[in-house]
């Protein structure tokens, strides 16, 4: 047994899972205190008690106002969209409460631990990655690394298929496409496995698309039927809406196994029972599926590949259990999608394998796995165009660049005697900085008063494998240098982090 244990955490938008490596180095999912392999990423804020998981999910039907769902979608925002029990929480604090339960439940089986690897969607930007690390800190975890979910899934797949065998043989390179449709996010990544190396070739996704959107189509369908019959909209009451959603999600799961399901809805003394054949469900949601098809094609093209170059199409995420997904992928790719690693455990398993590698590396052993990622968004700085005087996005690291990467670009000061330089870092594809995400800024101050106009400034970005960024600014002819002092608008201070850590770790 590795000491400390190698723990991987899949912190999902709707469900989370924890895995560790057993004594033979094989990943196993740890069940939670309720005995389940996955834990709903849902938090209930009772007056004197915080409940995470299945019980919190149930409370959506009775105490919807006290329940926080899909906080992962809001990482990067300053505060979660609603007050919970009269208090506002940053989304990362809600994520921390979920992580804290996962940690506590896992510790019951494997003993106290703090080191772990947490996964994030490949599509997550810098701000959301930092927020995820902060959530880990608040939960009392030591986050050794964050890795991309599709990479983790590919690692788990490679392990299962024996690409990562002890002998260290290097089988022929294989290309795979990871199609991950979860509850709240959609991610698609093209990867290459070369021996023990995992290279991401291209990645894309949609942070606002998942099984939840499929549920909502059913909710709307049933609500409209209710309105037609009784002239009332059951969605106007939060608890009724919550109950209806739970019913619809259940029906959706049934429709993955059966040709038809039904949903009942009662509100203000009226009730309807709506039958939903699978064909109707597929009709109500086909545009959502089309969006994933489109993104999948785009990503394949971004990798410069065609379907015949792809050896495996990997299914990841609970929503890939819907038959329409395999059907669509089979039609589009001409291949049978591979669901050999359980769709809701693959990511946690890959994270545990990666954690094992990191622990071995720390113990001085040579690593058996090598991971190479690409960045999912272009990174640049705001520059002023000399001719037009307009602001534009000067890209330093174009999207889908292999990481780690160091990139530099030269700029000039605008006027003689300029005393400070503000470097604004943006993430996004648009030439217009206003259409990009502002991820931070840093300033070089107290420049010498006699600095000539048009003095060269070198901006250097170091983008690490885990998607975290270090910025370095040097002004020619001065000793002024600056590194790593990015201030993010929505970032919590160390004191705030520590206060939340006390709160989260003190909760039961
Ligand atoms: P995430 O990683 O985004 O939290 P998961 O991969 O755990 O999500 O997937 C959760 C989603 O999968 C939910 O929307 C859930 O309704 C859906 N899901 C789970 N099982 C099934 C099933 N049998 N049929 C259809 N959808 C399912
Ligand atoms: Mg997931």
Residue whose tokens read 């149930």: 58
SS (H, E, C) 442-464: EEECCCCCCCCCCCEEEEEEEEC
- Rounded distance, CA 164 to CA 357, Å? 12
185 lines ligand 1 (CB under 6 A): yes
180 in active site = yes
Helix (H) or strand (E) holding 349: helix 346-362
Tokens 């005087």 identify what position? 389
Task: For residue 425, give the CATH number of its domain.
Answer: 2.60.34.10
Residue 435 lies in a domain: yes
Pairing of β 469-475 and β 456-463: antiparallel
Beta carbon of 281 within 6 Å of any ligand 1 atom: no
Please indicate, yes or no, if residue 95 is contained in any of the structural domains. Answer: no
348 part of a folded domain:
no
Burial class (CB in 10 A: 0-12, 13-18, 19+), 366: exposed
CA 248 to ligand 1 centroid distance, Å: 13
Which domain, by its residues, includes 220? 211-284
Nearest-atom number in ligand 1 for the CA of 211 is: 14
Are the C-beta atoms of 190 and 305 separated by less than 8 Å?
A: yes
- Which pLDDT value is given to residue 170? 52
| Distance of CA 150 from the midpoint of ligand 2 (Å) | 9
pLDDT of amino acid 350: 95
Give me the helix-helix angle, 91-110 and 494-506, nearest 10°: 50
For a pocket test of ligand 1, which of 183, 323, 348 has the largest count of ligand atoms closer than 8 A to its C-beta? 183
| Ligand whose nearest atom lies closest to the CA of 148 | 2
Residue 434 a catalytic site member: no
Starting from the CA of residue 122, give the closest ligand: 2
Rounded (10°) CA dihedral 108, 111, 114, 119: -60
Last residue of a domain, one of 260, 284, 308: 284
Q: Which atom of ligand 1 is nearest to the CA of 343?
A: 6
Contact (CB, 8 A) for 412 and 384: no
284, 303, 319 — which closes off a domain? 284
Residue with tokens 């788990």: 156
Nearest CA to ligand 1 atom 7: 15
In the set 92, 105, 145, 149, the catalytic residue is: 149
SS3 category, 283 = helix
Ligand nearest to the backbone CA of 322: 1
C-alpha 125 chain-centroid distance = 9
Whether 466 is covered by a domain: the verdict is: yes
Distance CA 242, CA 63 (A): 9
CA–centroid distance, 390 to ligand 2, in Å, is: 41
The rounded Å distance from CA 266 to ligand 2 centre is 32
Dihedral (CA of 75, 76, 82, 87) sign: positive
The residue whose CB lies within 8 Å of the most ligand 1 atoms, and thus the one to mutate among 318, 339, 347, 351, is 318
Q: Is 252 a catalytic residue?
A: no
On whether residue 66 sits in a domain, the answer given is no
Check pocket membership of 318 for ligand 1, CB cut-off 6 A.
Answer: yes
Q: What CATH number does residue 261 fall under?
A: 3.90.640.10
For CA atoms 487, 492, 495, 497, the dihedral sign is: negative
Residue 212, H or E segment: helix 211-230
As given in the structure block, the two tokens for residue 490 are 């929505």
Nearest CA, atom 11, ligand 1: 183
Residue 454 in domain: yes
What pLDDT is recorded for position 19? 98
Q: Which of 126, 180, 192, 249 is catalytic?
A: 180
Q: pLDDT tens per residue, the chain (508 residues)?
A: 447 899 999 999 999 999 999 988 899 999 999 999 999 999 999 998 999 999 999 999 899 999 999 999 999 889 999 999 999 999 999 999 999 999 999 999 999 999 999 999 887 887 888 899 999 999 999 999 999 999 999 999 988 887 665 555 556 788 999 999 999 889 999 999 887 778 889 988 887 899 999 999 999 999 999 999 999 999 999 999 999 999 999 999 999 999 999 999 999 999 999 999 999 999 999 999 999 999 999 999 999 999 999 999 999 999 999 999 999 999 999 999 998 889 999 999 999 999 998 998 888 887 667 777 777 789 999 998 878 889 999 999 998 888 889 999 999 988 898 888 888 989 888 999 999 988 877 788 888 888 898 899 999 988 877 667 888 888 888 776 766 545 445 568 889 999 999 999 987 6
The answer to whether the CB of 344 is under 6 A from ligand 1 is yes
* Alpha helix (H) residue ranges in 42-90: 54-58
pLDDT score recorded for residue 65: 93
Q: Atom of ligand 1 at shortest distance to CA of 16?
A: 4
Which of 264, 284, 304 is the C-terminal boundary of a domain? 284
Domain count, the chain: 2
Ligand (nearest to CA of 324): 1
Query: Whose C-alpha lies nearest to ligand 1, atom 12?
Result: 318
Q: Is 149 among the catalytic positions? A: yes
Which residue, 66, 80, 124, 71, is CA-closest to 98?
71
Residue 240 Cβ inside 6 Å of ligand 1? The answer reads no
479 C-alpha vs ligand 2 centroid, how far in Å? 47
- The per-residue pLDDT for 107 is 96
Residue 122: inside a domain: no
> Is the C-beta atom of 211 inside 6 A of ligand 1?
yes
Nearest CA to ligand 1 atom 19: 318
Asked if residue 471 is part of any domain, the answer here is yes
d(CA 167, CA 319): 36
256 lines ligand 1 (CB under 6 A): yes
Give the pLDDT confidence score for residue 7 in this predicted structure: 97
């Amino acid at each position: 047994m590795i000491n400390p244990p190698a723990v991987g955490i899949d912190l999902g938008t709707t469900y989370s899972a924890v895995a560790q490596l057993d004594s033979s180095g094989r990943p196993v999912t740890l069940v939670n205190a309720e005995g389940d392999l996955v834990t709903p990423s849902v938090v209930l804020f009772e007056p004197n008690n915080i409940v995470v998981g299945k019980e919190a999910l149930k409370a959506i039907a009775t105490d919807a106002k006290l329940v926080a769902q899909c906080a992962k979608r809001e990482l990067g925002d300053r505060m979660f969209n609603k007050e919970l029990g009269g208090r506002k929480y940053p989304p990362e604090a809600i994520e921390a409460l979920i992580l804290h339960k996962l940690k506590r439940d896992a510790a019951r089986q494997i003993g106290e631990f703090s080191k772990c690897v947490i996964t994030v969607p490949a599509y997550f930007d810098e701000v959301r990655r930092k927020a995820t690390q902060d959530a880990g800190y608040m939960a009392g975890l030591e986050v050794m690394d964050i890795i991309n979910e599709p990479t983790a899934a590919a690692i788990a797949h490679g392990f299962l298929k024996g690409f990562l065998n002890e002998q260290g043989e290097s089988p022929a390179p294989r290309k795979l496409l990871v199609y991950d449709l979860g509850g709240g996010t959609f991610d698609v990544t093209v990867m290459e496995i070369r021996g023990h190396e995992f290279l991401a070739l291209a990645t894309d996704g949609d942070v606002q698309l998942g099984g939840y959107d499929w549920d909502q189509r059913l909710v709307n369908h049933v609500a409209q039927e209710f309105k037609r019959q009784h002239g009332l909209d059951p969605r106007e009451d939060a608890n009724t809406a919550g109950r209806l959603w739970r019913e619809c999600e259940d029906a959706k799961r049934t429709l993955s196994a059966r040709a038809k399901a039904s949903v009942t809805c009662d509100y203000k003394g009226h009730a309807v029972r709506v039958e939903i054949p699978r064909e109707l469900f597929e009709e109500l949601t086909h545009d959502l599926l089309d969006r994933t098809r489109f993104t999948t094609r785009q990503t394949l093209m971004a990798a410069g590949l065609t379907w015949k170059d792809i050896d495996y199409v990997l299914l990841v995420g609970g929503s890939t259990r819907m038959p329409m997904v395999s059907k669509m992928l089979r039609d589009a790719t001409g291949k049978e999608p591979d669901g050999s690693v359980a769709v809701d455990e693959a990511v946690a398993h890959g994270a545990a394998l990666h954690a094992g590698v990191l622990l071995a590396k720390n113990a001085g052993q040579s690593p058996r796995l090598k991971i190479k990622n690409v960045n999912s968004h272009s990174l640049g700085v705001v520059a002023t165009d000399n001719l037009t005087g307009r602001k534009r996005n000067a890209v330093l690291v174009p999207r889908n660049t292999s990481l780690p990467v160091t990139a530099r670009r030269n700029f000039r000061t605008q006027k003689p005697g300029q005393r400070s330089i503000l470097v604004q870092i943006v993430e996004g594809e648009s030439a217009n900085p206003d259409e990009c995400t502002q991820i931070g800024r840093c300033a070089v101050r107290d420049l010498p008063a006699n600095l000539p106009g048009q003095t060269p400034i070198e901006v250097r970005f170091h983008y690490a494998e885990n998607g975290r960024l270090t910025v370095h600014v040097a002004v020619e002819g001065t000793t002024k240098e600056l590194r790593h002092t990015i201030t993010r608008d929505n970032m919590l201070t160390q004191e705030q982090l520590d206060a939340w850590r006390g709160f989260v770790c003190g909760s039961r």
